[in-house]
Structure 1
Amino acid sequence: MVLNKNVLLGVSGGIAAYKACALTSKLTQQGANVKVVMTKNATEFVSPLTFQALSRNPVYTDTFDEKDPGKIAHIDVADWADIVLIAPATANIIGKIANGISDDMLSTIMLATQASVYIAPAMNVHMYAHNAVMDNMKKLESWGYHFIEPGAGYLACGYVGKGRLEEPESIIEVVANHQTDNRMYTGKKVLVSAGPTREKIDPVRFFTNRSSGKMGFALAEAAANMGADVTLVAGPGNLETSNKNIQRINVTTAAEMYDEMLSHYGESDIVIKAAAVADYRPKETFTEKKKKQSDDWKIEMERTKDILQALGDKKENQFLVGFAAETSRPLESGKEKLQKKNLDAIVVNNVAADGAGFSGDTNVVTYVNKHNRTEELELASKQDIAGNILNFIAQDLKGESS
């Protein structure tokens, strides 16, 4: 999957730069067109001439070294690339990219490129675990950048731990597999619901829940990155979408979400209801603020429409996935919901577990399909969880079609 791809390899200044030589060679052997961009510090470890010989292309080290007067080099190279791979990626270059700093050739290209970006960090174990580095990586991951995690072992600094650049063969395998996954949902229409709903009491009060929408948004972004046309029905929140393949519809109440989900259901191939929709709403609402009284205030609640049940009842050829956020007997409750609501699969998570739940950036879930295939996903970022869920769905669809 790298054959005839234009791969821009960014090499930053760490001792692991020597591994980038083998990476360049192996990419070229597999048919990729490779151009190398080096930071100034990287040239202290490996000569640009080495990469020029291995890639059979000029090596870029200086923003102002315009090799072709008819082109602006950093824009031309940024447009040329199908894939950008930074290996090794130091804490410095990760920080620059995350904060929009462009003071050399590589960081300037990173602001200009529209290619898929893969980052393979390499640094001291304590540097890798530092909050600043972790925050920068989370930010880039939320923008759609892909990380190839470093391995654990003996480091050049003498420490033993996580921070060693992944081996060239493994890096290429990750990129190639992801490029294959990127085409998995081409031509598919995916409908996703995300976030909470708000059920009005009066102009200043409402009932809601703790859902942030992060899991649903991650699913929408991942499906779009895999080639799907995505409709995202989003409850109130502060999350943003940037992928042009996502049509976002904002709603507030459970009734509004019900209408939008049913409206787009018929044209959808895959439907993932990840939203935390209110089960109840106030039976009586007020057009003016309810004043404080000396006695208690009792609010009578009524059921909202069950969106997932309605989707299950109307299901024809759609692959329907629900979510079950539980605090007790999560797997048993999830399987009951799977059967009762005529789902093809359900994603179960115990929101009381460490690292799981609504507002965080990580999750722990179990995917169960209607044939009782059960896949447990350990603690990971919601972006990684979303990618795995979509892979499971694709496998189930392939199994049904065959």
Structure 2
Amino acid sequence: METIFKNKKILITAGPTREYIDPVRFISNESSGKMGYSIAETLHHLGADVILVSGPVSIKSSFPAHKIIQVLSGSQMFKACQEYFETIDGAVFCAAVADYTPKITSEIKIKKIEEETNLELIKNADIAFEFGKVKQPHQKSVGFALETNNINENAIAKLKKKNFDLIVINSPNVNEGFGYDTNKISIITKNLSFHAFELKSKKEVATDIINQLKNSFKLDEKEKKILV
């Protein structure tokens, strides 16, 4: 790979979030964080200045621990990311942030009394969408779409809505995505070109994603030279 990433400031989110119902119970998901950490490690080795905002994970990583911002909830992740929106060159939104969080979090453990109970949820901030609203022309962003139906249509809709330059499509199939060391992805770019990849290790998948991001940065450089 070329050194186009050297000294570029890249924000990466990884892992799940925990949306607490009470001090011991929370809503979460199956994300292991492996994909996000693999991307962070690869970009770091390419010379990028990587900021990794991570939900709770259990990963042995070569990424420098002092450069990881540890968070629990979606709101904490949003707040941590928001501080870097103006200064980054690119962002890879790989974390599986919970769409909803409890409207009220009990300060004490909720006792099992009734046969049924109701849990009222409110929307979490959509971090990628919020970045997309303020994103500058020189900034690049990559999103992820885990889809089970109308895959390409849903992914393209998300690509446009969140102002992504690339969207990575994966699925919850066996050996793909959550919890596995392998993944099978497709990538759709901003100009709607489609790239499909075979099942690979997440380290290899990280390289495929970064290659597409590199192409996006290089395209900008070519356009600037033409304008000059």
Q: TM-score normalised to the size of structure 2? A: 0.93
Q: CA deviation at 1:399?
A: 1.6
* Partner in structure 2 of residue 28 of structure 1: none
Matched, 1:327 2:148: yes
Q: Which amino acid aligns with 2:160?
A: Q
1:342 equivalent in alignment to 2:160: no
User: Which of residues 24, 28, 32 is equivalent to 1:204?
Assistant: 24
CA–CA separation in structure 2 for the residues paired with 1:356 and 1:227: 28
* CA displacement at 1:182 relative to structure 2: 6.2
**2:144 and 2:168 in contact (8 A); partners too:** yes
The 1:212/1:372 distance shift into structure 2, 3 A limit, reads same
236, 261, 265: which is aligned to 2:85? Answer: 265
State the secondary structure of the residue aligned to 1:231: strand
* SS of residue in 1 equivalent to 2:97: coil
Compare the two structures and name the one with the higher helix fraction.
1
Aligned pair 1:221/2:3, yes or no? no
Amino acid at match of 1:257: M
CA 1:224/1:201 → structure 2, altered by over 3 Å: closer, same or farther?
Answer: same
Answer yes or no: is 1:392 the counterpart of 2:221: no
Tell me, yes or no, if the aligned pair for 2:40 and 2:63 is still in contact at 8 Å: no
- Gaps (5+ residues) in structure 1? 1-180
Q: Work out the CA distance in 1 between the residues paired with 2:205 and 2:47.
A: 18
SS at match of 1:310: helix
Unaligned runs of 5+ residues in structure 2 are: 223-228
For residues 269 and 359 of structure 1, do their structure 2 counterparts lie closer, same or farther at Cα, with a shift above 3 Å needed? same
Deviation by residue 1:116-174 (Cα, 9 ceiling, x = unmatched): xxxxxxxxxxxxxxxxxxxxxxxxxxxxxxxxxxxxxxxxxxxxxxxxxxxxxxxxxxx
> Over residues 166-203 of structure 1, what are the superposed CA-to-partner deviations in whole Å (9 max), with x where a residue is unaligned?
xxxxxxxxxxxxxxx26341121111000000001001
Identity, % of aligned pairs? 38
Match of 1:237 among 31, 36, 57: 57
> Which residue pairs with 1:193 in the alignment?
13
**Cα distance in structure 2, aligned partners of 1:291 and 1:206:** 15
Any idea what the Cα deviations from partners look like across 1:214-251, whole Å, max 9, x if unmatched? 00001100111111111000001112433349711000
List aligned pairs for 1:144-183, cutoff 5 A: 181=1, 183=3
Secondary structure of residue in 2 paired with 1:324: strand
Q: Tell me the CA shift for residue 264 of structure 1.
A: 1.3
Matches of 2:126 and 2:183, distance apart in 1: 25
How many Å separate the matches in 1 of 2:167 and 2:114? Answer: 46
The correspondence of residues 129-140 of structure 1 with structure 2, limited to 5 A, is none
Q: Is the 8 A contact 2:11 2:90 kept in 1?
A: yes
What's the C-alpha RMSD, in Å, of the aligned pairs? 1.4
SS of aligned partner of 1:259: helix
- Helix, strand or coil for the counterpart of 1:278? coil
**2:111 alignment partner in structure 1:** 291
Q: Is residue 76 of structure 2 the alignment partner of residue 256 of structure 1?
A: yes
Letter in 2 for 1:320: S
User: Equivalents in 2 of 1:312, 1:357: separation in Å?
Assistant: 24
Give how far 1:397 is off. 1.4
> How big is each residue's C-alpha offset from its partner over 1:55-89, in whole Å with a ceiling of 9 and x where there is no partner?
xxxxxxxxxxxxxxxxxxxxxxxxxxxxxxxxxxx
Deviation at 1:327? 1.6
The one-letter code matched in structure 1 to 2:111 is K
Quote the offset at 1:359 in angstroms. 0.2
Q: Does 1:376 align with 2:196?
A: yes
Cα displacement (A) at 1:341: 1.2
Number of matched pairs:
221
Determine which structure has greater relative contact order: mean sequence separation of CA pairs < 8 Å that are 6+ residues apart, divided by chain length.
2
Distance 2:67 2:6 in 1: 16
Give the TM-score normalised by the residue count of structure 1.
Answer: 0.53
Residues 244 and 303 (structure 1), Cα distance of their counterparts in 2 relative to 1, 3 Å cut: closer
The aligned counterpart of 1:281 is 101
Give the distance between the partners of 1:244 and 1:204, measured in 2 at CA: 30
* Runs of 4+ displaced beyond 6 Å: none
Q: Deviations over 1:353-374 (max 9, x none)?
A: 3321210000011111110121
Query: In 1, distance between residues paired with 2:219 and 2:105?
Result: 49
Q: Is structure 2 residue 112 aligned with structure 1 residue 314?
A: no
**3-state SS in 2 of match to 1:272:** strand
